[in-house]
Amino acid sequence: MKEILLNRMPAPTWNRLDINDITVQIPDIPHSTQQCGNTAITALGSEFCGSIGNVTTISGNENINIALEIGQSRGYTVHADKSADITVIMYITANGSALLRTFADVRENARLRLVQVIVGNNDSIILNDVGADISDSGKFDITQIFLGGKCTVSGVCAELNGYRSDLSCSIGYLLGSGELLDINNTVLHKGKKSLSHTDVKGVLSGDAKKTFRGTIDFRNGSSGAVGSENEDVLLMDENVVNKTVPVILCSEEDVEGAHGASIGRLDDDVIYYMTSRGIPEEAVYRIISGSRLEGLIHSIGDAETEERALEALERRWKNAAL
């Protein structure tokens, strides 16, 4: 086993908040000779990228089941060629520690949809890295749904290099007792009039711990770029720990950047309204928190994956900690 430093924030802050990065123990995986895309575009870090082997290339619609075993690493490079429109759906499970990297190469006028449903268990340590290089008028839509797991470290690093390149990122998570999720998303606006929007919705219960670092980085020359980011976290139990760091870095005058965060419990008025209509309070929490994820699951667009994800969600509701 070795310790690996992951998810370093592009602009660090006070060390005592314990928020700048995360250290995880992973099995010794030999350095790979294969490269999974441009390894400089990574959220988890270059050391992580150097541990990825078994790289598969995808250039059309794919619906992949990825069942990672202990110590396994897997890499996917997805090429969305000029004017292509492809969708890649990944349903990911893991036993023990496992590494996954996906690199998206989105060419001119292409559209790539990447869906990742990541279902962890009491033993899983899943490290999931997504890098994306987006060219002129290219569009990258990524949806990530995290349903538990002992420790999940994930990140998206997207470079909007092209004119009017576009990133849309939707993330949902549901965590219960003994579970940890650490996310590091970075969007680099380099192209003129590039666009990005990140929307994160999550539910924490039991003693779940979650960190979300979201950085919008407007580089010099990205004039006309617009970037936004929003996180909405529902806290359901007194022992949860939520950390949120929404960062904007800006070295270009002609841009618009915005971020927002809303963290808290269910609104008393909502609970009152629903209980006054005969719904038990416990069910109110489940309905409201479930709606955050079910909407995202129904947007996957593949009936089989949606069904599996809803079943996994249902299993999690049955878990006493939730």
Partner 1 sequence: MKEKTQVSDINRSMYDFRYEEDESSFLENGITPDIIREISAEKGDPEWMTEFRLHSLGIYNKLEMPQWGPSIEGLDMDRIVAYIRPKKRMQNDWNDVPDDIKETFEKLGIPQAERESLAGVGAQYDSELVYHNVRREVAESGVVYTDLESAMHDERYANMIRSHFMKLVPPTDHKFAALHGAVWSGGSFVYVPEGVKLEIPLQSYFRLNAKGAGQFEHTLIIVEDNAYLHFIEGCSAPKYYEASLHAGCVELYVGNNSTLRYSTIENWSKNMYNLNTKRATVGENGKVEWVSGSFGSHVSYLYPMSILNGKGARAEFTGITFAGEGQDLDTGAKIVHNAPDTSSYMNTRSISKSGGASTFRSSVVINENAVGSRSAVSCESLMLDSSSRSDTIPSMVVKTDKADIGHEARIGRISDESVFYLMSRGLDENSAKALIVSGFAENVSKELPLEYAVEMNNLINLEMKGSIG
**Under rule CB under 8 A, residue 237 binds partner 1:** yes
Question: Which residues lie across from 118 on neighbouring strands?
Answer: 92, 146
Beta strands in 95-161 (DSSP E): 97-106, 111-119, 125-134, 139-147, 151-160
- Provide the β-strand partners of residue 313: none
Cβ atoms of 157 and 189 closer than 8 Å: no
Decide: is 245 part of the binding site for partner 1 (CB under 8 A). yes
Q: Does 256 bind partner 1 (CB under 8 A)?
A: yes
Site size with partner 1, rule: CB under 8 A? 44
Measured from the CB of residue 205, what is the shortest distance to partner 1 in angstroms? Answer: 9
Give yes or no for residue 270 binding partner 1 (CB under 8 A): no
Residues across the chain:
322
Q: Closest distance between partner 1 and the C-beta of residue 307, in Å?
A: 31
Q: Compute how many other C-beta atoms are within 10 angstroms of the C-beta atom of residue 137.
A: 19
**Interface map 199-228 toward partner 1 (x if CB under 8 A):** -----x-------------x-x--x-----
Between 168 and 223, CB nearer to partner 1: 223
Cβ atoms of residues 41 and 217 within 8 Å:
no
d(CA 236, CA 203): 7
Amino acid, single-letter form, for residue 67: A
Q: What are the two backbone dihedrals, phi and then psi, of residue 270, each rounded to the nearest 5 degrees? A: -65, -45
Nearer to partner 1, 70 or 241 (CB): 241
The window from 71-79, 160-168, 250-258, 288-296 that contacts partner 1 (CB under 8 A) reads: 250-258
- Does position 37 interact with partner 1 (CB under 8 A)? The reply is no
20: contact with partner 1 by CB under 8 A: yes
Under the criterion CB under 8 A, does residue 235 sit at the interface with partner 1? yes
User: Judged by CB, which is closer to partner 1: 148, or 246?
Assistant: 246
Report the nearest approach of partner 1 to the CB of residue 33 (Å).
Answer: 34
CB 145 within 8 A of CB 293: yes
Q: Kindly tell me which of 10 and 27 has the beta carbon lying closer to partner 1.
A: 10
> Measuring CA to CA, how many Å separate 24 from each of 21, 157, 244?
10, 19, 19
Q: Which two tokens stand for residue 237?
A: 């139990």
Stretch that binds partner 1, among 61-69, 124-132, 230-238, 311-319 (CB under 8 A): 230-238
Interface residues with partner 1 (CB under 8 A) are 11-15, 17, 19-20, 204, 218, 220, 223, 233, 235-265
